[in-house]
């Protein structure tokens, strides 16, 4: 008994000695990840107390990296090494230039986190991406591709929005990506919007809020953080903020009743981050300042009135709306003064360094207080350490690279994407009752499309048709229209994919010329469903909202009558069809 007591005493003394020899704050992985309060406020406050000003400011930046001449940057390069090791950035955003395969992405993110954890601050990174689905995706090969938000909106099924978020989230986290800059919760209520479009769930604020809420829950269950965007709304613009500065002139009452509804709902449900819009809103900010630089928008409205206490992020400060008018570095300072916690500078090393140094100098000069910086860093560290529970970024910064093949691009995930695509197909009109086409009687189909022509042809071949395929221009000229019409005469039917025809009116000319041949013409909308505005005469129009392979496959099945049609328009087609419109079409007897 006495010997056991002595042995235990010696063991306790050894443990105490080891603890005394261990540094209180180690930059290595183990010191950071295995701390006694690694998911609580003690870790956050201890970190802030021990960080230099440069480390604090660095945490407030999310950066991208590339190679000269638009060459791929699949591995760590000098740009990102400098930004992590010398500028202490808090986040990295990946683009298509950084993506070759899921396995390569997993290796890259693991090396990025190892570099961050072995740096002087020892804090893991946000590793973010724009993997919205639909047209905005950075990883295209080896993953599950969903048709996008407007297709989800057309299903009117929040469960599918949840599944899309969960599956995308699981795949991203398996590759070491812990934040998706999604979902877009803007209302697409302008048919000529060049930048939102099918990225939106639709125009109805209640439905958009409901779909976004389900989508965010899915991402969280997939262990990925989200950033809802673009606050306070980017849907009613006709200018692309990547190029210049748009203005939304709606009055405050209309903004409150519409655009802000999805943001309020997301915030009430615990949104992780909110991304600001590079758009001016006279209803909130009477000067010409965009929301990203406006204290009235970011602090008075978002932080105080809506009660959001998470991370406020800017959109990329190298976009034309900011860089051309304000200068990226100066704008970074102004954004933080306005209330932003994290600044995105996505491309150029010199601009990234200038922006970080400008903020650091603004603190040293007293333009921004260090207490103000501390508040932002606290929000950032709390998001890294406390959100997602046992899957938090602090607890699990690294991915298990050897398990990527079993977690990414699974067959059961692909089936969910197919289900979304099929449920989204909306029969807007079929005035001459052309649908379905019978491959036994109408086998020779002419397939014309500016997007996915060959994939559409193969999908139709799989349904028993004998397609002749021709890729067309977005704005087909007279000779191209003439040749397509000649080919149509030799066919039993024509299937044409249109893409934003209201912005490319020549597509409307082509549709009218094809209809003049008296052959059945089936028009497939591959993007926003406003195309009938360019050819309002009677005809057949199916809205797909996407040109992804799963959507083209769904279109082929719809044309052949192999799937029921139940999609509903998520947006109004001005002067033609209201939101919610759509005809049901059951599978004809004998075809199922």
- The two tokens of residue 107 are 């290796």
Indicate which residue of 39, 204, 272, 315 is catalytic.
Answer: 315
Task: Band the pLDDT of 158: cuts 50, 70, 90.
Answer: very high
Distance CA 335, CA 312 (A): 10
- The two tokens of residue 43 are 């870790």
- Which pLDDT belongs to residue 270? 86
Cβ-based neighbour number of residue 328 at 10 Å: 23
Residue 278 among the catalytic residues: no
Indicate which residue of 221, 240, 242, 374 is catalytic.
Answer: 242
Task: Band the pLDDT of 21: cuts 50, 70, 90.
Answer: very low
Third-level CATH fold of 425-559: Rossmann fold (3.40.50)
Taking residues 237-254, report their average pLDDT.
Answer: 71
Convert 268-304 to b/e letters by CB count within 10 Å (16 or more is b): eeebbbbbbbbbbbebbbeeebbbbbbbbbbbbbbbe
Residue 412 among the catalytic residues: no
Which residue from 211, 338, 225 is spatially nearest to 277, judged by alpha carbons?
338
Taking residues 148-163, report their average pLDDT.
Answer: 98
- Which pLDDT belongs to residue 111? 97
Third-level CATH fold of 24-411: TIM Barrel (3.20.20)
Task: Band the pLDDT of 587: cuts 50, 70, 90.
Answer: confident
Parse the chain into domains and list their residue ranges: 24-411, 425-559
pLDDT beyond 60 at 411: yes
Is the pTM value of this prediction over 0.95? no
Q: pLDDT by residue (tens digit) across 61-85?
A: 999 999 998 899 999 999 999 999 9
Q: pLDDT by residue (tens digit) across 369-390?
A: 999 999 999 999 999 999 999 9
- Which pLDDT belongs to residue 26? 31
pLDDT beyond 90 at 58: yes
Tell me the percentage of the chain whose pLDDT exceeds 70. Answer: 91
pLDDT beyond 60 at 236: yes
Of 288 and 578, more confident: 578
Distance CA 441, CA 446 (A): 14
Cβ-based neighbour number of residue 462 at 10 Å: 12
Task: Band the pLDDT of 239: cuts 50, 70, 90.
Answer: low
**Average confidence score pLDDT of the chain:** 91
CA distances from 374 to 182, 271, 301, 337, 558 (A): 26, 21, 21, 13, 56
Tokens 């990329």: give the residue.
Answer: 316
Least confidently predicted of 173-187, 206-220, 394-408: 394-408
Task: Band the pLDDT of 194: cuts 50, 70, 90.
Answer: low
Cβ-based neighbour number of residue 400 at 10 Å: 13
pLDDT beyond 80 at 29: no
- In the chain the first and final C-alpha atoms are separated, in Å, by 80
- Which pLDDT belongs to residue 247? 82
Per-residue 3-state assignment (H helix, E strand, C coil) for 179-242: EECCCECCCCCCCCCCCCHHHCCCCCHHHHHHHHHHHHHHHHHCCCEEEEEEECCCCCCCCCCC
Taking residues 344-368, report their average pLDDT.
Answer: 97
| Three-state secondary-structure class, residue 284 | coil
pLDDT beyond 50 at 446: yes
CA distances from 51 to 11, 82, 88, 90, 380 (A): 35, 18, 11, 13, 14
pLDDT beyond 90 at 94: yes
How would you list the strands of the sheet with 426-430, edge to edge? 426-430, 540-543, 521-525, 493-498, 444-449, 466-471
């Amino acid at each position: 008994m006495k010997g056991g007591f002595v042995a235990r005493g010696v063991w306790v003394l050894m443990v105490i000695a080891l603890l005394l020899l261990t540094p209180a704050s180690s930059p290595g992985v183990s010191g950071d990840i295995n701390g006694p309060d690694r998911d609580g406020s003690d870790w956050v406050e201890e970190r802030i107390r021990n960080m230099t000003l440069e480390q604090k400011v660095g945490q407030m930046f999310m950066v991208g990296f590339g190679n000269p001449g638009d060459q791929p940057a699949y591995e760590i390069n000098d740009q990102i090494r400098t930004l992590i090791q010398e500028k202490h950035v808090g986040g990295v955003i990946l683009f298509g230039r950084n993506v070759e395969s899921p396995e390569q992405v997993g290796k890259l993110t693991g090396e990025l986190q190892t570099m961050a954890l072995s740096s002087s601050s020892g804090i893991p990174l946000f590793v973010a991406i724009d993997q919205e689905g639909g047209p905005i995706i950075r990883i295209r090969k080896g993953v599950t591709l969903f048709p996008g938000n407007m297709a989800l909106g057309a299903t009117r099924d929040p469960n599918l929005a949840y599944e899309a978020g969960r599956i995308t989230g699981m795949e991203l986290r398996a590759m070491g990506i812990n934040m998706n800059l999604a979902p877009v919760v803007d209302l697409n209520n302008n048919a000529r919007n060049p930048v939102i479009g099918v990225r939106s769930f639709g125009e109805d604020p209640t439905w958009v809020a409901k779909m976004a809420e389900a989508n965010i829950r899915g991402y969280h269950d997939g262990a990925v953080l989200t950033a809802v965007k673009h606050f306070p709304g980017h849907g009613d613009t006709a200018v692309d903020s990547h190029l210049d500065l748009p203005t939304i002139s709606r009055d405050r009452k209309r903004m409150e009743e519409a655009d802000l509804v999805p943001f309020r709902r997301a915030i009430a449900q615990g949104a992780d981050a909110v991304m600001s819009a590079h758009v001016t809103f006279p209803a909130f900010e009477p000067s010409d300042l965009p929301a990203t630089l406006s204290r009235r928008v970011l602090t008075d409205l978002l932080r105080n009135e809506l009660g959001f206490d998470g991370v406020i992020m800017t959109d990329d400060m190298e976009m034309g709306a900011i860089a051309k008018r304000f200068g990226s570095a100066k704008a970074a300072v102004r954004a933080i003064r306005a209330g932003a916690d994290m600044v995105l500078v996505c491309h150029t090393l010199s601009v990234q360094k200038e922006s970080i140094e400008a903020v650091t100098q603004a603190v040293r000069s007293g333009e921004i207080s260090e207490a103000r910086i501390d508040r932002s860093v606290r929000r950032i560290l709390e998001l890294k350490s406390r959100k997602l529970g046992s899957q938090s970024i602090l607890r699990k910064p690294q991915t298990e690279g050897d398990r990527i093949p079993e977690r990414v691009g699974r067959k059961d995930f692909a089936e969910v994407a197919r289900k979304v695509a099929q449920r989204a197909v909306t029969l807007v009109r079929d005035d001459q009752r052309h649908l379905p086409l019978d491959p036994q009687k109408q086998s020779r189909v002419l397939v014309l499309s500016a997007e996915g022509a060959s994939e559409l042809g193969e999908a139709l071949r799989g349904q028993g048709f004998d397609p002749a395929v021709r890729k067309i221009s977005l704005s087909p000229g007279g000779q191209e229209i003439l040749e397509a019409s000649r080919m149509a005469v030799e066919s039993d039917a024509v299937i044409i994919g249109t893409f934003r025809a209201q912005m490319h009116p020549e597509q409307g000319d082509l549709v009218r010329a094809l209809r003049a041949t008296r052959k059945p013409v089936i028009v497939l909308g591959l993007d926003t469903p406003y195309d009938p505005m360019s050819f309002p005469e009677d005809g057949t129009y199916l809205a797909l909202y996407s040109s992804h392979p799963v959507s083209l496959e769904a279109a082929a099945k719809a044309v052949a009558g192999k799937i029921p049609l139940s999609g509903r328009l998520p947006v109004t087609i001005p002067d033609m069809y209201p939101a919610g419109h759509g005809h049901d079409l059951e599978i004809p007897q004998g075809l199922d």
